Chains A and B, each alone.
Chain A
Amino acid sequence: MNSTIFLLSFLIPLALGLIEFKLDKKKADIVMLISALSSLALTSYGLAVFLGNRGIYHLVYIHSQGLGEVFGFVVDTMSVLMAFIVSLTALLILLYAIDYMSPTNKLNPVESGKGTFYGWMLILEGAVLGFLFSSSLLSFLVFAEVIAIATWGVIRYYKTPNARQAANKAFGFINLSMLFGLLLVVVFGLVKYHDTSLYALGQLSSKATLWVFLGVMLTAITMSSQFPLYSWLPDSTEAPVPASAFIHSIGAVEAGLFMMVRIVQFMNGIPKTAYYVIALLVVITQVMSIFYYPLQKDAKRLLAYSTIAQVGIMYVALLGAILGSAGGLQASVYQLFNHSLVKSLAFLVAGTFGFSFGTFDMKKIKGLRWILPGAAVGWFLALLGLAGVPPMGLFLSKANVIMTGTMAVRGASWIEWIPVLLVLVDATIFFMVAVLWMKSMLFGEPSYEKGKISPLMYAVLIVLIVVMTVSPFLTLHLTESIRFIGG
């Protein structure tokens, strides 16, 4: 397996991202396009090569006596597929951003400074791609820090007081969780075992397993904005819409879950205590989002709470994996893929409200199907897709989560059933909220003049709709090769 492809796929955005800070306007667009396109080309080429000879490849680049595995790659179905989806979604989001971040935007016209935005976005993309292939907790930590910094950069882009505060909150929360979580674990690993490789996780004693698990979990669930540190994500919608789309669909939120899946994949005999801790947090998160959905009138914030719950569903699937079912791992990753595409569509459509009407307030938008038909269709599909209506992929993945979850907890006590059943309740509440909003938003007398979005933005929305409808059927059987690796 030639891993240079993957190495380049994240180094290019990181490098060109730094250059972007010095550019603006057309030049910035061109450099961004080069970076995003080459990244996608590399990951898709990598995917094609990988599908030709599948397996789990472990490559170590930097290894030292005292630090063990510092930097290496795990190339398997999960990381390769995920990298492909990340670079594809990133390209679509950035294409959309070309016209979104323009003077014609009614809510946030952007005259200059596009380069800075692209810069942060590309660094974010590069960091996420690097994060996916990481084979040690140390490099998880490093890339997570870069993700946190880039997230901070994109959220505060408009430099309004709210945006600054939201950026600081996101940065602060993630770092706080790292200080008491991942960082401690890494330090502990380096001091005690002189190694933080994922492959070493399988050999830990049961007590060490528990503490390492809980430490990593603290960081992971904060990145995924689960209870107790969850509110940075709804606040982060102060960011420009393309940035929100990125953060919510393939950014820190998904990275957190990805790291957790890796840990579960490599660990042996995770103690039941760990299960109960994470189950409790996930259940609280699910119940909370059930109460938050109906309270939102801001389209972006509604989507933010939906992200929290959707990622929560991935954690529910992971609970099954902790109980020992490989199906749980698969369902979790499958849900992640599907959610990425649907959620980025949802955000990009919400962006068109701000772009052409200057508001995200769903109460004010009426008769959308007359004034912005494309957005009406996109919003309809995205909201129902998030609620888990087929043919959108989240139906199959939620079904998978419930099915594997039920299988894992069948015969267990009623406590284990709670998270699984909550997935159904959560989807139902979101469904009702979504249908009721659609009724008032799509139909009736229009509340604004006919809106206008650029052909490029339309094209991105159409491509996303097609991709999100087709991809679940392609990835369904691919994810079935995801298994436990450790031990």
Chain B
Amino acid sequence: MVIYLLELSLSLFVLGAISGLVLEYKSVIRLSSAFATLASLSLIALIVEAYGHLPIKGEILGTPIMIDGLSLVFLTIIGVVGLADAIYTFNYMDKYEKLGKAWVFALAYNAFLASMVLIVTTSHLVWFVFWWEIMTFSSFVLVVWDEKDSLWAGVEYYITMHLASTLPLLLAMAIGYSVVGSFDGMGFSDVAAHIGTLSPGLVKLLYASFLLAFMAKAGVVPLHFWLPPAHSSAPSDVSTLLSGVMIKMAVYGLVRTTFFILKPTVTFGYLVAMLGVVTLVVGTLYALKQTNAKRLLAYHSVGQMGYIWLGVGIGITLIGNSNSTLAFIGALGLTAGLFHALNHALFKGSLFLSAGAIEYASGTKDLNRLSGLYKLMPWTGIFALFASLGISGVPLFNGFVSKWMIYEAGYYSKNFWFVLGALFALLISAVTLASFVKFYNSAFGGEPNELTSKAKEVPGSMLIGQGILSLLCLVIGVFPAIALAIATLPVGKGVITTGVLGLSFHSIYFSPVLMAIVFGVIFVAFLLLLPPKAKETAKPWDCGSTLFPEATYRLRASDYYRPYEKRISAFYALGGFFGDLGSEVINRTIAAYVWVGKYFVRTAEIPWVTVKDVDDLRDGMTLHLDDALIMPVVRFVKVVGILSKAAVLLVLIIVAAVLAALIW
């Protein structure tokens, strides 16, 4: 039944992919989104059906399939975010109608979702990499959709992925094959069973390859540079899938390969956790200074990925510990990481959809220019608020629960580095809140200005898309048991005890429901005792001058935290230094290439032209080594004037030699 539902879902994605045959733009978009919606629904049905019957093994298209707890966590992410996103896409893509190519969208969009479903369900290393590549390929097509600003971002993304994700994965696959020796024997468990025969050097290479590949995909510092440009220049429904789902595939890959192919080792765990801490600090502090709504969200994706890696890293380090309390803390950390991945998918997905709605309605994503949208788009405003509270880790919203579990895992690990990491995570959570105060206030707060006054609430389908994800942030925040039922699957249910009222672990108890009641009572009491005064609005006082437009008196997004940004300018300078270093390395590599390349091209015929970049070399004639050796002889023969005769002679010699041999 579960395999049947998986097949149903994949077939629906295939139908969606070929709905481009309908030809008319809007029909194609509607049809492909409808199929993607149905496919996501059948994924959700699959999760319900599979729950309690794990693991499930089967086969699809001749490739082995295994659905276990870990798969189910990520299938939930794909199913829920895919559902919301596909509904949102019904109307959102109308924005791009003049570009045509609806069939490409249908194909790439459905292939993108389907490939991720297959990534988390396949149990074969080669097919894992195959679907992984399909995912990168189709996401690239979607990222460069608008063919303008996104082009360079997309190319940067694709090349980075090829260098830092595809190459290591291929290498890992090759090492895996070298121990099993057959294509069919490349199942995760088969490779894991033979890994002992590898030399220590190759095992280290295997760890490094997987780590690099998943770092690049997850946008973990220092391989995060591709993420903000790509996520912010893609269409918003695509950004949602990139940030909400695709980068989670890296977390899946990390956990799957570490626990099911390799062995979780302490060193590797430390590495993962520390990368997480660095990433959460760098990503969030950079997010703080962004003024482009989608870029801000994209940098937060980097930051939140750091939280997930910290949780998973603690899990990898401690889960095998002989001390049962520490092993328990490891399991808690891993669960917290996976739970946070799920939560991040919800709130970040919702936020990107809201950012898309803002751009759809007002035509800009520049927070400096936006204002007062709440009055015009109340629903989008509410949904964005819930999701913002979710990502900021405010209690009663989902982000709080998982972040809190990560902090707890860090504290109780009794390990200096993890405690430090958890402290950083806590501090950075405040920065996240600050950043979203800015985000929310700039876009939704205040009065509408000239730019936004014409904005209207977005079509119903886009609201439903945002609503699903955003309300889930609240629901899971109040009843975490719903999501924890899935998030605890990979490590077993013993880690966290959940009830309707709340959750408990390690002698800690937290009840969001009771908290909601207590705070609700307090809130109502305040409302009754101190009723709010009617709001007064006043125009800014401009000292009588009429030269300056009113908008300039506003606190703009870039002004919010200017003093703080100045205070940590050394940090940004360091980031800038590494950025420059990266570009310098690339430039030097190209220069070195040009230096060698000059010997492959006849440049002497272009006098007074200094060859600076590769393009200058393309106009010259390409030189060949064998020409240099043989052409002098040919020219000599030509001068003598017997070239055609020489050719005939050559054939004659061959024929004669054969004949001679025959006669012998």
> Chain A: residues with CB nearer than 8 A to chain B?
66-67, 138, 141, 145, 168, 171-173, 175-176, 178-179, 183, 186-187, 190-191, 227-231, 234, 288, 291-292, 294-297, 301, 327, 363, 369, 384, 389-391, 395-396, 398-400, 402-407, 410-411, 420, 424, 428, 431-432, 435-436, 439, 443-444, 476, 480
Report B156-210 residues with CB < 8 Å from chain A CB. 158-159, 162-163, 167, 170-171, 173-175, 177-178, 181, 183, 199, 202
Q: Say yes or no for B155: interface residue by CB 8 A criterion.
A: yes
Q: Are A411 and B199 in contact (CB under 8 A)?
A: yes
> Chain B: residues with CB nearer than 8 A to chain A?
101, 126, 129-130, 133-134, 137, 144, 147, 151-152, 155, 158-159, 162-163, 167, 170-171, 173-175, 177-178, 181, 183, 199, 202, 593, 596-597, 600-601, 614-615, 617-619, 622, 624-627, 629-630, 634, 643, 647, 650-651, 653-654, 657-658, 660-662, 664
Q: Are A384 and B129 in contact (CB under 8 A)?
A: no
Additional pairs, 8, CB under 8 Å, beyond known A175-B654, A295-B600: A190-B662, A190-B664, A227-B626, A294-B593, A301-B622, A405-B174, A407-B177, A424-B167
- How many residue pairs bridge A and B at CB < 8 Å? 146
> Are A191 and B137 CB-contacts (below 8 A) given A168-B647, A183-B657, A407-B178?
no
Chain A residue contacts of B619, Cβ below 8 A: 297
Q: Are A406 and B174 in contact (CB under 8 A)?
A: yes
> Bound state CA distance, A172 and B654, in angstroms?
12
Contact of B597 among A145, A191, A295 (CB under 8 A): A295
Chain A residue contacts of B174, Cβ below 8 A: 399, 402-403, 405-407, 420
> Bound state CA distance, A138 and B657, in angstroms?
12
Residue of B nearest to A433 (CB): B614
9 A-B pairs with the lowest CB-CB distances in the bound complex, closest first: A231-B624, A403-B177, A406-B174, A407-B178, A190-B661, A297-B618, A410-B178, A402-B174, A443-B147
Q: Are B133 and A395 in contact (CB under 8 A)?
A: yes
Contact of A234 among B159, B178, B202, B622 (CB under 8 A): B622
Chain A residue contacts of B170, Cβ below 8 A: 398-399, 402, 424
Contact of B137 among A190, A384, A398 (CB under 8 A): A384
Q: Are A295 and B601 in contact (CB under 8 A)?
A: yes
User: Can you list 29 A-B pairs with a CB-CB distance of less than 8 A?
Assistant: A145-B651, A172-B650, A173-B626, A173-B630, A175-B647, A175-B651, A179-B650, A179-B653, A183-B658, A187-B658, A187-B660, A230-B624, A230-B626, A231-B624, A234-B622, A295-B597, A295-B617, A297-B618, A390-B133, A391-B134, A402-B171, A402-B173, A403-B178, A403-B183, A424-B170, A428-B163, A432-B159, A443-B147, A476-B183
Kindly provide the distance from the CB of B494 to the nearest chain A CB, expressed in whole angstroms: 40
> Bound state CA distance, A338 and B543, in angstroms?
76
Q: Are A406 and B622 in contact (CB under 8 A)?
A: no
Task: Count chain A CB atoms within 10 A of each CB in B163, B622, B651 and give the residue with the most.
Answer: B622
Chain B residue contacts of A369, Cβ below 8 A: 101
Q: Are B626 and A424 in contact (CB under 8 A)?
A: no
> Are A183 and B177 CB-contacts (below 8 A) given A389-B137, A431-B159?
no
Chain A residue contacts of B664, Cβ below 8 A: 66, 190-191
Chain B residue contacts of A406, Cβ below 8 A: 174-175, 177-178
> Bound state CA distance, A371 and B597, in angstroms?
33
Q: Are B654 and A145 in contact (CB under 8 A)?
A: yes
> Bound state CA distance, A172 and B629, in angstroms?
14
Chain A residue contacts of B183, Cβ below 8 A: 400, 403, 476, 480
Kindly provide the distance from the CB of A350 to the nearest chain B CB, expressed in whole angstroms: 16
> Bound state CA distance, A432 and B162, in angstroms?
9
Q: Are B137 and A399 in contact (CB under 8 A)?
A: no
Kindly provide the distance from the CB of A71 to the nearest chain B CB, expressed in whole angstroms: 13
Q: Are A443 and B155 in contact (CB under 8 A)?
A: no
Chain A residue contacts of B658, Cβ below 8 A: 138, 141, 183, 186-187
> Bound state CA distance, A410 and B630, in angstroms?
39
Q: Are A66 and B662 in contact (CB under 8 A)?
A: yes
Chain A residue contacts of B625, Cβ below 8 A: 227-228, 231, 288
Chain B residue contacts of A384, Cβ below 8 A: 137
Q: Are B661 and A291 in contact (CB under 8 A)?
A: no
Contact of A428 among B126, B134, B167 (CB under 8 A): B167
> Bound state CA distance, A403 and B171, in angstroms?
8
Q: Are A296 and B618 in contact (CB under 8 A)?
A: yes
Chain A residue contacts of B137, Cβ below 8 A: 384, 389-390
Chain A residue contacts of B133, Cβ below 8 A: 389-390, 395
Q: Are B155 and A435 in contact (CB under 8 A)?
A: yes
Task: Count chain B CB atoms within 10 A of each CB in A173, A176, A301, A424 and give the residue with the most.
Answer: A424
Chain A binding surface, main DSSP class: helix
> Bound state CA distance, A392 and B614, in angstroms?
29
> Bound state CA distance, A403 and B191, in angstroms?
13
> Are A435 and B654 CB-contacts (below 8 A) given A231-B624, A294-B614, A395-B130?
no
Residue of A nearest to B627 (CB): A231
> Bound state CA distance, A80 and B66, in angstroms?
37
Q: Are A295 and B627 in contact (CB under 8 A)?
A: no
Chain B binding surface, main DSSP class: helix
Chain B residue contacts of A66, Cβ below 8 A: 662, 664
Residue of B nearest to A395 (CB): B133
Q: Are B597 and A390 in contact (CB under 8 A)?
A: no
Q: Are A436 and B155 in contact (CB under 8 A)?
A: yes
Contact of A363 among B151, B618, B630 (CB under 8 A): B618
Q: Are A294 and B597 in contact (CB under 8 A)?
A: yes
Chain A residue contacts of B134, Cβ below 8 A: 390-391
Residue of B nearest to A411 (CB): B199
Chain B residue contacts of A230, Cβ below 8 A: 624, 626
> Are A407 and B181 CB-contacts (below 8 A) given A145-B654, A190-B662?
yes
Task: Count chain A CB atoms within 10 A of each CB in B101, B622, B661 and give the residue with the most.
Answer: B661
Chain A residue contacts of B650, Cβ below 8 A: 172, 175-176, 179
Chain B residue contacts of A291, Cβ below 8 A: 593, 596-597, 600
Chain B residue contacts of A231, Cβ below 8 A: 624-627
Task: Count chain A CB atoms within 10 A of each CB in B130, B178, B600 and give the residue with the most.
Answer: B178
> Bound state CA distance, A435 and B158, in angstroms?
8
Residue of A nearest to B662 (CB): A67
Kindly provide the distance from the CB of A438 to the nearest chain B CB, expressed in whole angstroms: 8
Kindly provide the distance from the CB of A418 to the nearest chain B CB, expressed in whole angstroms: 14
Contact of A390 among B130, B601, B630, B661 (CB under 8 A): B130
> Bound state CA distance, A234 and B129, in angstroms?
33
Kindly provide the distance from the CB of B432 to the nearest chain A CB, expressed in whole angstroms: 34
Chain A residue contacts of B601, Cβ below 8 A: 295
Chain A residue contacts of B167, Cβ below 8 A: 424, 428
Chain B residue contacts of A395, Cβ below 8 A: 130, 133
> Bound state CA distance, A15 and B299, in angstroms?
68
Chain A residue contacts of B129, Cβ below 8 A: 399
Q: Are A435 and B181 in contact (CB under 8 A)?
A: no
Residue of A nearest to B137 (CB): A389
Kindly provide the distance from the CB of A170 to the nearest chain B CB, expressed in whole angstroms: 11
Kindly provide the distance from the CB of B117 to the nearest chain A CB, expressed in whole angstroms: 16
> Bound state CA distance, A187 and B625, in angstroms?
30
Kindly provide the distance from the CB of A482 to the nearest chain B CB, expressed in whole angstroms: 13
> Bound state CA distance, A398 and B664, in angstroms?
46
Kindly provide the distance from the CB of A365 to the nearest chain B CB, expressed in whole angstroms: 14
Kindly provide the distance from the CB of B493 to the nearest chain A CB, expressed in whole angstroms: 38
> Are A439 and B593 CB-contacts (below 8 A) given A227-B625, A391-B134?
no
Residue of B nearest to A145 (CB): B654
Kindly provide the distance from the CB of B645 to the nearest chain A CB, expressed in whole angstroms: 12
> Bound state CA distance, A187 and B615, in angstroms?
49
Chain A residue contacts of B596, Cβ below 8 A: 291
> Bound state CA distance, A44 and B183, in angstroms?
27
Kindly provide the distance from the CB of B104 to the nearest chain A CB, expressed in whole angstroms: 8
> Bound state CA distance, A291 and B162, in angstroms?
19
> Bound state CA distance, A191 and B130, in angstroms?
52
> Bound state CA distance, A67 and B617, in angstroms?
54
Chain A residue contacts of B178, Cβ below 8 A: 403, 406-407, 410
Chain A residue contacts of B173, Cβ below 8 A: 399, 402-403
Contact of B614 among A186, A295, A327, A411 (CB under 8 A): A295
Residue of A nearest to B646 (CB): A172
> Bound state CA distance, A173 and B624, in angstroms?
14
